[in-house]
Amino acid sequence: MDAVKAPTRKHWSEAVLNQRTLICIFTGFSSGMPLYVLFQLLPAYLREEGVGLKEIGLFALVTFPYTWKFMWAPLMDRYVPPFLGRRRGWMLMMQLALLGSIASLGLFDPTMSIMTIAYLATAVALFSASQDIVLDAYRRELLPEDELGWGNSVHVQAYRISGLVPGALGLVLADILPWSSVFIIIAGFMLLGVIMTLVVNEPVTAPRTPQTLKEAVIEPFHEFITRLGWTGALQILSFMFLYKLGDNMATALSTPFYIDMGFSLTEIGVIAKASALWASVVGGILGGLWMIKLGINRALWLFGVVQVVTILGFALLAQSGPDKLVLAVVISLEYLGVGLGTAAFTAFIARSTSIAFAATQFALFTALAALPRTFVNAFTGYVVDAVGWHLFFYICALLAIPGMLLLLKVAPWNGDQMAAEPQSDN
C-alpha cells in the first residue's frame, strides 16, 4: 500500500508542468470539437437555410453513438492498426475521418438533401464517439495514478473551451463566408489533434493486446467483477449513476428556468451562459490542482458537498426573482461546483478502470454516468409542473445525497487507494 501511495508526494509542479498536461489539452480539444459542431454549428446552419424546428430537433437522435460506444469499444482494444500502434493508429484514423465528414456537412443544400446531411451528422457522431473511446484509453495508460485528477480535469476543460470554435468562431464566420467554407475551416481545427497524434508516443504502460475478440469483450467485465467482487462492483456502478444525478437535474432546464424568472434572452446569454462556462472551467482547473494534494477520495467528498450546497442557490434565485446580481452569483457558484465535482468524478472513473481494458471499461462507465442526463432531460419538466421551481431545487439537492452516502463504501475519506488498480495489471 505504501508503495502505491509514494508517487503522490511529488511536488505539485511536477504533476502540472509536464508534457502529459499538454497532451491532455490536445485530447480534450479534439474530443469536444466534433460534439459542439453537432450541438451548436449544425443547428444554426439548418435553421439559417430554412429547415423547420421539428426537423432540427430530430437531429438530436444522431448523437446515439455517444451512448452506445461501449458496444464497439472491445474492437478498438482487440485490433491494432498497421501503423502508429494500437492507440495512436485508431486516433489518427478517427481524426482524419472527422476532418472529412465535418467538412462535408456544408456541401449539401439542407432543403434538398436533408437526409444526406443527417447521415453525415451520424457519421460525425460515430467517428467522434470512437475517438473518445481511444482518447480515454490513451489518457488512462499515459497518466500515473497521482495525475489522474489533474490530467482528466485539463482534458474536460479543454473539451469545454473547444466549443468556442464551432459555437462562436463558426457563427461569426457564417456572417461573412458561405457555409461550405465555414465547415471546411472548422473541420481544419481537427488538424491539431492529428499533429498531436503524430508527435506523441504510445504509452509505456500500454498492456498486451487481447488475443481474441471474445477476450476483448468478456475480460473487461470479468476483471472488474473479480477485482472488486459483485458487491463492490455494484456499489461503484451505483455511485457512477447517482453522484451527479442531483446536479444534472438542477441544470437540465436552466434556460427555461431563467426565462420563467423574468430574465431577457440577452441577460441569459451574457450573464448566465458566460458565467456558467468560465466558472465551470475555473472549477475544473482548481479541482484538478487540489486533487494533487487531496487525493481523489477526499476531493469527491469535499466537491460533492459543494455541489449539494450550490444547488440550493437555484432555490434562492427562484425566490428572489429577476435580480441580475443574484443570477450571476448563483450561476458562478453552481458551475464552480459543477467544475469541481466533474473533475473529481472523471478522475474516479479513470481510476476505476483497469489499464489492461481501459477502452471498454472507460466507455462503459462514461455511458453509465451519462444515463441520468438522458432521463433527467426527459422527466424534469413534469416534476417542475407538479411542484414548482422552488421545491424542485430542494428535491434536486435531496437526490444528490444517495451518491454522497455511497462514498462511505466506494471512496472512504482515508482510503484513497480503495479503488486503485492492482499493480499486477501491468
pTM (whole model) above 0.85? no
Residues 6 or more apart from 402 whose CB is under 8 A from it? 242, 245
CATH number for the domain including 219? 1.20.1250.20
Residue 224 lies in a domain: yes
Residues 138 and 169 in one domain: yes
**206 part of a folded domain:** no
**Tally of structural domains, the chain:** 2
Decide if pLDDT at 230 tops 50: yes
What mean pLDDT is reported for the chain? 80
Mean pLDDT of 285-302: 78
Which grid cell is 289?
490542482
Which one, of 124, 157, 132, lies nearest residue 37 by Cα? 124
Asked if residue 145 is part of any domain, the answer here is yes
Instruction: Give CA–CA dist 344/268, Å, rounded.
Output: 28
Domain end, chosen from 135, 169, 199, is at 199
Q: Is residue 205 part of a domain?
A: no
213-242 and 358-387 helices, crossing angle to 10°: 30
> Quick one: pLDDT at residue 6?
41
Contacts of 259 (CB under 8 A, 6+ apart): 265, 268
**Cα–Cα–Cα angle for 68, 70, 75, nearest 5°?**
120
Residue 87 counted as domain residue: yes
What average pLDDT does this structure show over 89-103?
A: 95
Q: Are residues 132 and 227 in the same domain?
A: no
The answer to whether the beta carbons of residues 301 and 416 sit under 8 Å apart is no
Asked, for residue 208, whether it belongs to a domain, the answer is: no
Confidence class for position 123, pLDDT limits 50, 70, 90: very high
Residue 297 lies in a domain: yes
Same domain, 240 and 279: yes
Residue 1 has pLDDT above 60, yes or no: no
Whether the predicted pLDDT of 86 surpasses 90: no
Q: What is the DSSP letter of 426?
A: -
* 217 and 71 assigned to the same domain: no
**142, 172, 199: which is the final residue of a domain?**
199
Same domain, 51 and 159: yes
194 & 222 share domain: no
pLDDT value for 3: 39
Say yes or no to pLDDT of 90 above 90: yes
Q: How far is CA 359 from CA 149, 157, 425, in A?
A: 18, 21, 15
pLDDT digits (tens, 9 = 90+) for 14-72: 656 678 888 888 999 999 899 888 877 888 788 777 777 667 767 777 878 887 888 88
Residue 19, domain extent: 2-199
- Shared-domain flag, residues 371 and 276: yes
Same domain, 217 and 195: no
Q: From 169, 199, 229, give the residue that closes a domain.
A: 199
pLDDT of residue 272: 67
Do residues 344 and 418 both lie within one domain? yes
Which three cell numbers, joined as nine digits, stand for 8? 503522490
One domain for residues 242 and 143: no
In degrees, to the nearest 5, what angle opens at C-alpha 383 toward C-alphas 380 and 387?
Answer: 145
Tell me which DSSP letter residue 206 carries.
Answer: -
Same domain, yes or no: 157 and 223:
no
Q: Tell me whether residue 158 is in a domain.
A: yes
188 and 267 together in one domain: no
